[in-house]
A and B are shown apart, each in its own frame.
Chain A
Amino acid sequence: DAKTTQPNSMESNEEEPVHLPCNHSTISGTDYIHWYRQLPSQGPEYVIHGLTSNVNNRMASLAIAEDRKSSTLILHRATLRDAAVYYCILRDVDNYGQNFVFGPGTRLSVLP
């Protein structure tokens, strides 16, 4: 499985943008980039995913580097509810049965 590296922790102020980086230098051409987050005492929840182009949804934006070796999850205005562990995961789009391989993720703290 291709691996990802993320900072252990990050801190942000409420209502400011947050940029969560992820490095995946061994990504293959068929690997989708997925982001999940896990709020305290809950299971992980889907945030966003993409392959090559930048993606936007109601929760966040995903910016993917041109060489696809890194990506950034962007929360446009952090709220206290966004405090969570964020996981960046690669998954082969052609391997339907492939499981998600979670690393330790980035723990995001949001300060009021």
Chain B
Amino acid sequence: DAGVTQSPTHLIKTRGQQVTLRCSPKSGHDTVSWYQQALGQGPQFIFQYYEEEERQRGNFPDRFSGHQFPNYSSELNVNALLLGDSALYLCASSQTGGKYEQYFGPGTRLTVT
């Protein structure tokens, strides 16, 4: 079992650009959550997808959007990038309803210049 995988590992973008990050959940998992982790801080919840719909959203602007595909994989899109969007973006997957533990991927390090 490959666990949760994310791509790319690192990414450098310029202010104003758009970025798409990808996540494949652990086998058997159907729920995907996205988190943003700034340097030296704990992860902050962005949103969660279940059955291809956004089920819950944290305090992030509409520039952050996502999608879940029928195979449960997911994408995080960020438009009009700001310098403050530089962070580690983590994807976590869990089984139906996410009742218990979440399994995190290694993250995508996004740098906005």
Is A16 part of the binding interface, using a Cβ–Cβ cutoff of 8 Å? no
Give the interface SS of chain B, mostly helix, strand, loop or mixed.
Answer: mixed
Min C-beta distance of A107 to chain B, whole Å? 10
Summed over the interface, the residue pairs from A and B with CB atoms below 8 Å come to a total of 56
A90-103 near B? 1/0 per residue, CB < 8 Å:
00010011111111
Min C-beta distance of B64 to chain A, whole Å? 14
With the chains together, A49 CA to B94 CA distance in Å? 15
With the chains together, A108 CA to B56 CA distance in Å? 32
Min C-beta distance of A66 to chain B, whole Å? 24
With the chains together, A42 CA to B42 CA distance in Å? 13
**Which residues does chain A contribute within 8 Å of B72, judged by CB atoms?**
none
Are B42 and A104 in contact, CB atoms less than 8 angstroms apart?
yes
A46-B101, A49-B101, A99-B48 known; A87 vs B55 contact (CB < 8 Å): no
A96-B97, A99-B45, A102-B44 known; A42 vs B50 contact (CB < 8 Å): no
Are B33 and A49 in contact, CB atoms less than 8 angstroms apart?
no
Is A45 part of the binding interface, using a Cβ–Cβ cutoff of 8 Å? yes
Q: Closest B-chain residue to A41, C-beta based?
A: B106
**Which residues does chain B contribute within 8 Å of A41, judged by CB atoms?**
106
Task: Mark A residues whose CB is within 8 Å of B.
Answer: 34, 41-46, 49, 85, 87, 93, 96-105
Ordered by A's residue number, 30 sampled pairs between the chains whose C-beta atoms are within 8 Å are: A41-B106, A42-B106, A43-B92, A43-B104, A43-B105, A43-B106, A44-B104, A45-B103, A45-B104, A46-B102, A46-B103, A85-B42, A87-B42, A96-B96, A96-B98, A97-B50, A97-B55, A97-B97, A98-B56, A98-B98, A99-B33, A99-B45, A100-B43, A100-B45, A100-B92, A100-B102, A101-B45, A102-B35, A102-B43, A102-B44
